A and B are shown apart, each in its own frame.
Chain A
Amino acid sequence: MSKQTVLYDTHKAMGARLVPFGGWDMPLHYGSQLEEHHHVRRDAGMFDVSHMTVVDIKGADVKAFLRYLLANDVDKLKQPGKALYTCMLNETGGVVDDLIVYYLDDQWYRLVVNAGTTEKDLAWLEKRSATYDAAVKPRRDLAMIAVQGPNARAKALPLLSSELQQKGRDLKPFNAVADGDWFLARTGYTGEDGFEIMLPGDRAAEFWRQLHTAGVEPCGLGARDTLRLEAGMNLYGSDMDEESSPLESGLGWTIAWEPQERDFVGRTVLEQQRKDKQKRRFVGLVLTGRGVLRNHLKLFDGEKEVGEITSGGFAPTLERSIAFARVLPDIGETCDVEIRGKRVKAQLVKPPFVRNGKAVIDL
C-alpha cells in the first residue's frame, strides 16, 4: 500500500493523475505535463515534494560525523542556513543517496533525502552515527513544497510570515532561513529560481491553496523530471546508484578532495578511480534524428557498443529529445542510439541543457 502525503486529497480535488513513486502515491500531472513544464520555465509552478524526507541530526559530534559520512565537506558551511549538495557513498564508492545538507548551528544539521531511499538511508545513518554524539531524527511532521520559476519567489513571499518575508527577500541561492517549523530555502530541482519550503504538515493544504490563488500552478512528477533533465540534474536510481560512483555520474564536482587528511566513506576507492583513464564518462546527448531517447537505450559507434542512456526523454523547452549517458572515455562527438532496432544519430553535449528558461547548448 502506497503512502500518501498530507496533500493527497488536495491533489485529487485538483484533478491530479496519481501514480506510485518511491513508495508514495504522487501526482504525475494535473492535465498536461507539457503545460506544467512551461509554467515553471515561464512563470511559476509548485510541486508537492513531501515524499522526500527531512532528517535532522543533532549532537556535539554532528559536524565530525557528517565530514566522515558525506563525500562533500560540510566544513564549507560557515553561515547558518547555508546548503550543500553531496553524495553519501558506500565503501566501494557507490552512491547510497544524493542529498542536500543544511548547516543550522554547530550541533544541528538538516538533510533532505530521496523518498525511495529513505528507509535505507535512515538505517545507514543510524549505523554510521553509532560511535558519534549525533542523534538522527526524521521529521515526518513536516511537509515540503517546491515553488519554482522566474516569478516563484515574488508570488510565494507575500504568503509567508513577516519574519520569513523579511529574511527571505534577500536570501541568496543555496541558503535557507527558518521561522519556527517553517523553513525557507532558495533551492530547487528545475534550473529555475525559486524556493523549497518546509512547513508543518497540518498547514500544507492551506498554503498550497494560497499559492494556487496567487497564480502558482500545480505541477506533477512528470514535469519535475523533464525540468531536472533539461537543467542537467541527476536522478538517483537512474543516473547513479550503489553500483556507480560520482566520478562516473557527472558528480565529480561534489567530491571535496581537500583537505587530504579528511577521511570519508568511499574515499580510498574514489582516489583509485580518479586516476583510472578507462573510467566511463557521463555526458549529455541531443538526438539529431527522429524519435525519443529513453532510459537504458544502447549507444553505438559503428558496431561497437560505447555506452548506455541513464535517463532520457523529451525536452519541452528545446522541443527535441535529450538524455544523460554513461559512455566509454574515448567516444567522439556523435554516436548512434539504437531505438527499436534502428540506429539514430545523437550529438554529445555538456549538461546543463537549459538554465533560467534559456537553452545553454548549441542546437
Chain B
Amino acid sequence: MNTTPTDRRYAKSHEWIKDEGDGSYTIGITDHAQELLGDLVFVDLPEVGSQVEAGGDCAVVESVKAASDVYSPVTGEVIAINEALDGAPETINEDAYGTGWMFKVKLSDASGMDELLDADGYEAMIADED
C-alpha cells in the first residue's frame, strides 16, 4: 500500500486535492480508490471552463468492473484537464497521486479546503472501512 501524501487534502468520497501555490488546485482520486475500482479503462473528464461544485459529480472513471462518479472536493472553475488519461486511463492505477491527476480548478472560495480530511484523517477513515 502506498503511503498517503501529506501535501494535500482528501474527500470522504476518495478524491484528493492539492494546492499548487499559484492559485490552482489539482484533483485526482486516491490510491485506495483506484485499488478498489481495479484496472481503469475509461475516464470522462469535465470540460475546461466548466464550473464544478463541492460534492457534485463532475467526472467518471470506468474500470473493467464498473463506472464510478468522481465528485469535486471543492467549488470552482476547471482550468485544465489531464488529456493524457484519454489514451492511457491506467495511469491512474499506476500513479494516482502523480501523473494520474485528473483536472485542475481555480477556487471560488478556498475555505472549502478546511472541511476536507488531512492524510491521517483519510487513512483513519479507510482503516475504519476495512
A interface residues (Cβ-Cβ under 8 A, vs B): 28-29, 32-34, 222, 226, 290-292, 294, 313-314, 316, 321, 340
Give Cα A208 to B61, complex, Å: 34
Q: Does B12 contact A (CB under 8 A)?
A: no
* Majority-rule SS of A interface residues: mixed
Instruction: Name the B residues within 8 Å of A33 (CB-CB).
Output: 38-39, 64-65
Interface residue from B39, B62, B64 paired with A291 (Cβ < 8 Å): B62
| A314–B44 touching, CB < 8 Å | no
> A340: which of B60, B65, B66 is its contact (CB, 8 Å)?
B60
Which residues 47-71 of B have a CB within 8 angstroms of A? Answer: 60, 62, 64-67
Closest residue of A by beta carbon distance from B36: A17
Nearest-neighbour CB distance to chain B for A12, whole angstroms, equals 15
Beyond A290-B42, A291-B44, A292-B41, whether A314 also contacts B64 by CB under 8 A is yes
Q: A34-B41, A222-B64 are in contact. List 20 more A-B contacts (CB 8 A).
A: A28-B65, A29-B38, A32-B38, A33-B39, A34-B39, A34-B64, A34-B90, A222-B65, A290-B42, A292-B41, A292-B42, A292-B62, A294-B66, A313-B64, A314-B41, A314-B42, A314-B62, A314-B64, A316-B64, A340-B67
A355 to B48 alpha-carbon distance, docked (Å): 42
Most buried by A among B42, B64, B67: B64
* Whole-angstrom CA separation of A28 from B39 in the bound complex: 12
Q: Which of B41, B42, B65, B67 has the most CB of A within 10 A?
A: B41
- Given the complex, which residues of B lie within 8 Å of A34, measured CB to CB? 39, 41, 64, 90
Query: How distant is B56 from chain A, measured CB to nearest CB, in Å?
Result: 14
| B residues near A290, Cβ cutoff 8 Å | 42, 44
Across-interface contacts of A321 in B (CB, < 8 A): 41-42
- Do A226 and B64 contact each other (CB < 8 Å), given the known contacts A29-B38, A33-B39? yes
Q: What is the CA–CA distance of A294 and B42 in the complex, to the nearest angstrom?
A: 13
Contacts of A316 in B (CB 8 A): 64
Please tell me if the beta carbons of B42 and A291 are within 8 angstroms of each other in the complex: yes
CB contacts (< 8 Å) of A222 on chain B: these are 38, 64-65
Q: How many angstroms from the CA of A33 to the CA of B66 in the assembled complex?
A: 13
**Cα separation A141 to B56 with both chains bound (whole Å):** 52
28 inter-chain pairs at a CB distance below 8 angstroms, sorted by A residue, are A28-B38, A28-B65, A29-B38, A33-B38, A33-B64, A33-B65, A34-B39, A34-B64, A222-B38, A222-B65, A226-B64, A290-B44, A291-B44, A291-B62, A292-B41, A292-B42, A292-B62, A292-B67, A294-B66, A294-B67, A314-B41, A314-B42, A314-B62, A314-B64, A316-B64, A321-B41, A321-B42, A340-B60
User: Which A residues lie within 8 Å of B42 (CB)?
Assistant: 290-292, 314, 321
Q: A32 contacts which of B39, B60, B65, B67 (Cβ < 8 Å)?
A: B39
Taking the nearest CB of chain B, how far is it from the CB of A342, in angstroms?
Answer: 9
B83 CB, min distance to chain A CBs, angstroms: 13
**Bound Cα distance A33, B37 (Å):** 11
Chain A nearest CB, measured from B21 CB (Å): 34
Q: Looking across the interface, which residue of chain B has its beta carbon closest to that of A314? A: B41
Closest approach, in angstroms, between the C-beta of A164 and any C-beta of chain B? Answer: 35
- A287 nearest in chain B by CB position: B42
Minimum Cβ distance to chain B for residue A276 (Å):
35
Chain A nearest CB from B108 CB (Å) reads 26
Residues on B with C-beta less than 8 A from A314 are 41-42, 62, 64
Which A residues are CB-close (under 8 A) to B60?
A: 340
Measured CB to CB, the closest approach of chain B to A173, in angstroms, equals 28
B38 — which chain A residues lie within 8 A by C-beta? 28-29, 32-33, 222
Instruction: Tell me the bound Cα distance from A292 to B37 in angstroms.
Output: 15
Complex Cα distance, B67 from A340, in Å, reads: 10
Nearest residue (CB) in A for B35 is A17
Q: Which residues of B contact A32 (CB under 8 A)?
A: 38-39
> What residue in chain B is nearest A342 (Cβ atoms)?
B44
Determine the distance from Cα of A33 to Cα of B90 in the docked complex, in whole angstroms: 12
Contacts of B65 in A (CB 8 A): 28, 33, 222
What residue in chain A is nearest B57 (Cβ atoms)?
A: A340
The residue in chain A whose Cβ has the minimal distance to the Cβ of B64 is A33
CB A315 to nearest CB in B, in angstroms, measures: 9
A340 to B60, CA, bound (A): 10
Closest chain B CB from A217 CB (angstroms): 15
CB distance from A289 to the nearest CB of B (A): 11
Closest to A223 in B: B64
Task: Give the residues in chain B near A28, CB-CB below 8 Å.
Answer: 38, 65
Q: Which 8 A-B pairs have the closest CB atoms?
A: A314-B41, A34-B39, A292-B62, A33-B64, A292-B42, A33-B39, A314-B64, A33-B38
